[in-house]
Chains A and B, each alone.
Chain A
Amino acid sequence: MTSTSSTSGPAAPGSHPRHQLDDAIHSPVRLSVVSALSGVDRAEFGEVRDAVEVSDSVLSKQVAALEAAGYVEVTKGRVGRRPRTWLALTGEGRAALRAHLAALRALLGPDLG
Chain B
Amino acid sequence: MPQWKVSATLVAMSERAHVTVDQARSALAGADAARRGLAARGRWLAGCFGAFAVGSAVVVVLIGLGGDAGTTLAMIGWVSLVSVGVAYAATRPVRLRREGWLHAGGWVTWGVVYGAVLAVGHPRHGEVAYWVPAALVSAVPLAVTALVALRWSRR
Write the residues of chain A forming the contact surface with B, with a CB cutoff of 8 angstroms: 6, 18, 21, 23, 26-29, 31-33, 35-44, 46-48, 51-53, 79-80, 84, 97, 101, 104-105, 107-109, 112
- The segment from B72-80, B94-102, B113-121, B130-138 that touches chain A is B94-102
Q: Which residues of A contact B15 (CB under 8 A)?
A: 6, 21, 23, 26-27
CB contact between B24 and one of A36, A44, A108 (< 8 Å): that residue: A108
Also in contact, A41 and B97, with CB within 8 A (given A23-B15, A36-B38, A51-B38): yes
Counting contact residues on chain B (CB < 8 A from A), the size range is: 35 or more
Contact present for B93 and A6 (CB under 8 Å): no
Also in contact, A28 and B12, with CB within 8 A (given A104-B27, A108-B21): yes
Q: Which residues of A contact B91 (CB under 8 A)?
A: 79-80
Question: With A and B bound together, what is the CA distance between A29 and B37 in angstroms?
Answer: 14
For the residues of A in contact with B, the DSSP-based class is helix
Contact present for A31 and B31 (CB under 8 Å): yes
Within 8 A of A (CB), among B31-66: 31-32, 34-39, 41-42
Q: Does B151 contact A (CB under 8 A)?
A: no
Contact present for B97 and A32 (CB under 8 Å): no
Contact present for A107 and B24 (CB under 8 Å): yes
Contact present for A39 and B155 (CB under 8 Å): yes
Contact bitstring B1-41, A, C-beta under 8 A = 1, else 0: 01011001101100110110100110110111011111101
Q: Which residues of A contact B99 (CB under 8 A)?
A: 41
CB distance from B106 to the nearest CB of A (A): 16
Contact present for A40 and B39 (CB under 8 Å): yes
Q: Which residues of B contact A79 (CB under 8 A)?
A: 90-91
Contact present for B25 and A52 (CB under 8 Å): no
